[in-house]
Structure 1
Amino acid sequence: MTTSQTQIATVAAGCFWGVEHLFRKQFGEGKGLLDAKVGYCGGKTAEPTYRAVCSGETGHAEALQIKYDPDVVSYRALLEFFYRMHDPTTANRQGPDVGTQYRSAIFTHGAEQEGIAREVTDKIGREWYAGKPVTTAIIAAGQWWNAEDYHQLYLAKNPAGYECPAHFVRTFPPLS
């Protein structure tokens, strides 16, 4: 179900299977998430494949594109959760997953999202990750490419499948 208020958020936080799984768990079932797709963003290669992205030569990140209802969940809340569920202080890495495809990034859709992303990133850097550099890139969303079908809902279809150990919800106090 989509409404006229449907908006899109695009983030990258390492292996996209766990990112999708945690966002669906947190915001699914009427909590604002209308749909989510894993795919590739931020690179230079048209119609990239998983194998090509894993080579590191396409420039793409494994990413999650979320369609959400802003009357139910705010973009700010999505970004705060994004920063709770991965480690934004490790450049091109989440746990044992290493490479530019595993970078932390927020791909913004317009000036309003960019402003919110910069504000939230600044706050989490000072309040949650003080003393560690936040490596999350904030850049305008370019072309989105859906990942292959077998990657969509991967952990729902394969409950014992690989899940990055760096993907878990961290407990932080609310941002000021």
Structure 2
Amino acid sequence: MNEDLASTRDSAGTALAELIAAIGHLKLPPVELWHPTHCGDSDMRIAADGTWWHAGTPIGRPELVRLFSTILRREADGSYVLVTPGEKLDIVVDDAPFVAVEATVAGEGADATIAFRLNTGDHVVAGPENILRVETAADGTPRPYLHVRRGLEALVARAVFYQLAEVALAADPPGVWSGGVFFPFGSAA
């Protein structure tokens, strides 16, 4: 095991090695296999800040948000649905369905690993299957996104992006490594 992964800990004190092992054991519902008849609108929305809403009221129970997040699917047309074996309901997503609220970096250069904690409590490690990309918004500001799973992404919170930008600016060209993949920051991103 990489010594940096064993010794580097997130804000909760969990070693990155433990997080990576837990991610490998996570079993999510097979939403990509479920194709029930469309039942209508869920009257739910995920705001750009990651807050989940139902009928105009924020959902205050993190466990409920976590449960709904496991049955979220992105359709081929780019829309989002909540899906079970028996139902499929539309859900509005203002930007990305998740927000990366923390990043923990272990190692340096090509040996680095970056683990992100999402607003749902999930963890994602950037790498070949979870690409980190930076878009430029219409106003010229960077909009970083992390692939989470099955076409679903997390907007990387501004404070987390600044943390990564500090690492990225030390590299030439600017960018960060994780999971053996270089993710460029800047105009070529």
TM-score normalized by structure 1? 0.25
Which structure would you say has the larger Rg?
2
Q: Would you tell me which structure has more strand in proportion to its own residues? A: 2
Q: Would you tell me which structure has more helix in proportion to its own residues? A: 1
Q: Which has the higher contact order (CA 8 A, sep 6+)?
A: 1
